[in-house]
C-alpha cells in the first residue's frame, strides 16, 4: 500500500485517485502522522501544499519517517521540503503555472522510460535552487532542479517539482507506475468504485426515511438522482428550483426530463433569487446568498414530503477540494460551493453519494446507471447558475445578455462539431464597459468573454484551440443579436493559475 501524506495541496486527493486508477492500494494520512503508523506501508508520497518550507509554521512530517527505509516521493511542496530538510536551498523564484517543458537529465528511478523532453504541469512559487549533498539531478526546468533522487545508505528518496498526478502531465502515469510497481514493488489490487456497492451503501444508510434532492439537469445531480432512484425510488423526491439563473430553455428541458420520476417537485423562485442578489457584487457573497436561499426554498418545498430524513446532493470531489472540505489539510479555500453553505440548524442529514468521485468517474457511473448521453455529455453547469458568469452585480439586463451570448456560443459549437470535443464552454460578462460604434453611433456597453477548456478531472484545465473562423461566427452573432454588448474576447488562460469559472 502507498501512503499519501497530506500537506494541504489542492491535488492531494488526486494523487490517491491516480494511484487508485492504476490499481495501487492507497490511503490518505495527515502530514504529521507518526512514523510508527506507517511502518507497514510499501511507500510514502509527500503531497504538495500552499506553504513555503521556510515559513515559521510550515507543515512537517514526523522526521522518523525518513528512517523507516521506505521509498519516498515528494511532489511540489513535498519535493521542496525534502530538499530543505537534507540541507538543500529552497527560495522564492520564478513562478511557474500550467504547462512547461521538462529537460530530463537521467531516465532512471521515477523517470525511467520518459522522453528527454516532456510536457509537465507546474503550480509553484518556490523552487529548489541547490541540491543537498548526495542527491543527484534527474531533470531541470530553467535554473531549478525539477526532479532528483537520493539512493544512498539504503534510502530511496525522489522529488518532483511538477505534478504527475494531473491529466495535463502526459508522462504522469509512467512516473507513478515507476514509483509504485518498480521502486515500491506494490501488488495491484482490483479495488474500484462499484454501482451496486454505492446503491447498497445509500440504501443501508437511509433506511425507511424519505430523501429530497435538488436537481438541475446537470451531470452530477442527475447521476446522484439516478443512483438514489435505484436504491429507493419511492422514497426519493427530486426538487427542481428555478432560480431565474438558468440557461436558455433549461427549465422546460429539465421539467420534461424528470417527468418520469414519480415524486418530482417544481418550484419557481426566480423573483426571490433576483431580489436577494440585487446590489451584490462580491462573488463569495453571491454564492452564499444563492446557497442559503436555495436551502430555504428547498425546506419550504419539502414541507409537503412526509418523513424526510436526508438532503441528497450531487457534490463531487472537485467541489469539496476547492472549498477546502476534503477532510484533510487543504486549508487554502478557492471558493465556496453552493452545496457547502448549509444552515447550521438544517434538520436533515446530508447525503453525498458522489463525494469521492471526479467528473469523469461520475460520467462512467452514470453510464452504468443508464443516464442518457444527452445528460452525460452535457457540459458542467454550477449550482449558482449564470450568477457566476456575471462578474459583478446580477441585473436583469446583464443576465439576459449573458444568457443569450451563452446560448449562441453553445449552439455554434454544436453546429461545428466542437461541443463534444471539450470539457466545458460558456460565456461570461464583465463589469466594465467599453466604447464602441454601432450604426455610426457611439456605444458604451459591456464585453462578453468566451471560455472553452479541456479537462479530465477539473483540477487542471487548458484552453481549447478553436478555429478563428468559428470564433468570428460566434462573435458576429453575439454582437449582432445581444443588446448591451459591443466586444467579445476569448480567454486563453490555463488552470492554474486561473480557475475555469470567473467567480
Residues taking part in catalysis: 76, 163, 165
Residue that has been written with the C-alpha cell 539504503 in this structure = 154
Residue that has been written with the C-alpha cell 439516478 in this structure = 226
CA distance 258 to 251: 11
Strand locations in 172-307 (E): 210-214, 236-242, 265-268
Phi and psi, residue 72, nearest 5°: -125, 135
CA distance 139 to 111: 9
| Half-sphere exposure in the Cβ direction for 158 (13 Å, CA) | 26
User: For residues 319 and 218, is the Cβ–Cβ distance under 8 A?
Assistant: no
Q: For 70, which DSSP code?
A: -
Residue that has been written with the C-alpha cell 462573488 in this structure = 283
Return the number of other C-beta atoms located less than 10 Å from residue 236's C-beta. Answer: 24
Buried b (16+ CB within 10 A) or exposed e, 135-166: bbebbbbeebbbbbbbbeeebbbbbbbbbbbb
CA distance 108 to 112: 4
CA distance 316 to 366: 13
CA distance 449 to 489: 5
CA distance 445 to 428: 14
Residue 443, class by beta-carbon neighbours within 10 Å (0-12 exposed, 13-18 middle, 19+ buried)?
Answer: middle
Amino acid at each position: 500500500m502507498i501512503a499519501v501524506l497530506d500537506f494541504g495541496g489542492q491535488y492531494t486527493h488526486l494523487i490517491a485517485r491516480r494511484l487508485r486508477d492504476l490499481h495501487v492500494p492507497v490511503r490518505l494520512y495527515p502530514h504529521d502522522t507518526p512514523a510508527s503508523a506507517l511502518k507497514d506501508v510499501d511507500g510514502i508520497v509527500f503531497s504538495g501544499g500552499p506553504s513555503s518550507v521556510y515559513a515559521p509554521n510550515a507543515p512537517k512530517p514526523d522526521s522518523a519517517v525518513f528512517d523507516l527505509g521506505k521509498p519516498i516521493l515528494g511532489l511540489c511542496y513535498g519535493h521542496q521540503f525534502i530538499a530543505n530538510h537534507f540541507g538543500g536551498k529552497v527560495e522564492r523564484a520564478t513562478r511557474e503555472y500550467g504547462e512547461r517543458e521538462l529537460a530530463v537529465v537521467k531516465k532512471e528511478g521515477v523517470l525511467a522510460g520518459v522522453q528527454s523532453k516532456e510536457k509537465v504541469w507546474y503550480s509553484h512559487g518556490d523552487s529548489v535552487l541547490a541540491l543537498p549533498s548526495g542527491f543527484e539531478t534527474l531533470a531541470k526546468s530553467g535554473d531549478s532542479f525539477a526532479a532528483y533522487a537520493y539512493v544512498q545508505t539504503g534510502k530511496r528518496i525522489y522529488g518532483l517539482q511538477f505534478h504527475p498526478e494531473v491529466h495535463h502531465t502526459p508522462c504522469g502515469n509512467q512516473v507513478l507506475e515507476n514509483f509504485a510497481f518498480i521502486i515500491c514493488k506494490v501488488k495491484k489490487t482490483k479495488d474500484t468504485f462499484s454501482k451496486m456497492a454505492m446503491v447498497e451503501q445509500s440504501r443501508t444508510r437511509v433506511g425507511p426515511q424519505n430523501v429530497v434532492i435538488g436537481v438541475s439537469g446537470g451531470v452530477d445531480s442527475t447521476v446522484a438522482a439516478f443512483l438514489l432512484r435505484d436504491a429507493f425510488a419511492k422514497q426519493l423526491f427530486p426538487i427542481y428550483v428555478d432560480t431565474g439563473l438558468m440557461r436558455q430553455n433549461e427549465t422546460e428541458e429539465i421539467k420534461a426530463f424528470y417527468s418520469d420520476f414519480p415524486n418530482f417537485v417544481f418550484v419557481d423562485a426566480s423573483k426571490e433569487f433576483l431580489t436577494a442578489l440585487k446590489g451584490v457584487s462580491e462573488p463569495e457573497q453571491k454564492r452564499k446568498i444563492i446557497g442559503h436561499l436555495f436551502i430555504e426554498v428547498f425546506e419550504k418545498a419539502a414541507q409537503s414530503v412526509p418523513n424526510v430524513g436526508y438532503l441528497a446532493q450531487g457534490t463531487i470531489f472537485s467541489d469539496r477540494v476547492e472549498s477546502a472540505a476534503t477532510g484533510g489539510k487543504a486549508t487554502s479555500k478557492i471558493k465556496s460551493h453552493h452545496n457547502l453553505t448549509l444552515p447550521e440548524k438544517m434538520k436533515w442529514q446530508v447525503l453525498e453519494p458522489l463525494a469521492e468521485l471526479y467528473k469523469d468517474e461520475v460520467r462512467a457511473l452514470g453510464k452504468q446507471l443508464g443516464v442518457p448521453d444527452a445528460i452525460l455529455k452535457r457540459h458542467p453547469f454550477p449550482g449558482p447558475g449564470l450568477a457566476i458568469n456575471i462578474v459583478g452585480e446580477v441585473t436583469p439586463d446583464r443576465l439576459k445578455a449573458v444568457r443569450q451570448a451563452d446560448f449562441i456560443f453553445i449552439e455554434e459549437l454544436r453546429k461545428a462539431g466542437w461541443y463534444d470535443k471539450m470539457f466545458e464552454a460558456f460565456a461570461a460578462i464583465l463589469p466594465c464597459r467599453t466604447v464602441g460604434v454601432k450604426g455610426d453611433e457611439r456605444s458604451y456597453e459591456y464585453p462578453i468573454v468566451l471560455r472553452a477548456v479541456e479537462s479530465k478531472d477539473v483540477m487542471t484545465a487548458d484552453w481549447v484551440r478553436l478555429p478563428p473562423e468559428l470564433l468570428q461566427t460566434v462573435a458576429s452573432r453575439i454582437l449582432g443579436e445581444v443588446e448591451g454588448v459591443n466586444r467579445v474576447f476569448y480567454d486563453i488562460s490555463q488552470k492554474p493559475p486561473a480557475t475555469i469559472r470567473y467567480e
